[in-house]
A = this chain, B = another copy of it.
Amino acid sequence: MDIILVVSMRVKLEISYVGDEFCGWQIQPERRTVQGELLRALKSLTGEEPIITGSGRTDTGVHALCQVAHFDLTRNFEIKKIKSGLNFYLPQSIRILSAIEVDESFHARFSAKSKTYAYVFSTSDNALYVSRALYAPDLDYGKMAEAVGVLKGKHDFSAFRSLGSDTKTTVREIFDLSLTARGDFFVLKVVADGFLYNMVRKIAGTLIRVGEGKLDADGLREILLSKDNARTPVAPAHALYLSSVEY
């Protein structure tokens, strides 16, 4: 037995969830949200109602393969029982992948070095892909894969954000950006030091215009430089996945 007795402990969670079953990450009155369900499960398990801090919000419909969050407990709790205990109280559409004790310097949002999102296009309208990928059989994925490199690197991504959340700066660095074929799917992967609101969905939406032949790489660069977010359509939420958060 490995019971850790401490007055207070910080716990890091890795969490997966099915986006379309919740009104996004953030807790809201009268709405079923991931943070709200987590808080309810934590209260049932530990009796405490701590603030649960996520690496960032996700919108309604957006899935998480591995979201990260942290919270503090004022009383000791056996860390080994947190994963199974939360999974017992949570709905099946939220699963805790891991729960570990971390140093108090760890912060789910501020300690993150980068985050990885995936936007999944499907070339088959199979029922099993509905609400998990965007059915888009006729796009020119070769052209999209070529053009998307334009957005790599450190830029002011004002053109690729929706208003509605405060941010000090609109400059972000995209470390990695690729569109690759995987079976029935084409997966747009974006790794960046941070993301503006709707940034990946606006990148995906604009990339669709490239795939439709309405825009080329030069046009994409021009939109980036214009900082005009009226020129970038927002792609649907249900094909977006928060893949991982890197610390």
Listed in ascending order, the chain A residues whose CB lies under 8 Å from chain B are: 16-18, 63-66, 87, 92-95, 97, 124-128, 130-132
Other-chain contact of A95, B16, B95, B127 (Cβ < 8 Å): B127
Contacts of A126 in B (CB 8 A): 16, 65-66, 95, 97
Min distance, Cβ A131 to any Cβ of chain B, angstroms:
7
Min distance, Cβ A1 to any Cβ of chain B, angstroms:
22
Which B-chain residue is minimally distant from A21 (CB atoms)? Answer: B127
Other-chain contact of A16, B66, B93, B128 (Cβ < 8 Å): B128
Min distance, Cβ A84 to any Cβ of chain B, angstroms:
10
Contacts of A97 in B (CB 8 A): 124-126
Contacts of A92 in B (CB 8 A): 127, 130-131
Which B-chain residue is minimally distant from A83 (CB atoms)? Answer: B125
User: DSSP majority for the A interface?
Assistant: mixed
Contacts of A132 in B (CB 8 A): 128
Min distance, Cβ A186 to any Cβ of chain B, angstroms:
16
Number of copies: 2
Contacts of A93 in B (CB 8 A): 127, 130
Which B-chain residue is minimally distant from A63 (CB atoms)? Answer: B128
Bound-state Cα–Cα, A198 to B124, Å: 28
Other-chain contact of A128, B18, B124, B125 (Cβ < 8 Å): B18
Which B-chain residue is minimally distant from A132 (CB atoms)? Answer: B128
Bound-state Cα–Cα, A124 to B95, Å: 10
- 17 A-B contacts (beta carbon < 8 Å): A16-B126, A16-B127, A16-B128, A18-B127, A18-B128, A65-B126, A65-B128, A87-B125, A92-B127, A92-B131, A93-B127, A95-B125, A95-B126, A97-B124, A97-B125, A97-B126, A128-B132
Contacts of A18 in B (CB 8 A): 127-128, 130
Min distance, Cβ A82 to any Cβ of chain B, angstroms:
15
Contacts of A63 in B (CB 8 A): 128
Min distance, Cβ A88 to any Cβ of chain B, angstroms:
13
Min distance, Cβ A50 to any Cβ of chain B, angstroms:
22
Which B-chain residue is minimally distant from A92 (CB atoms)? Answer: B130
Which B-chain residue is minimally distant from A93 (CB atoms)? Answer: B127
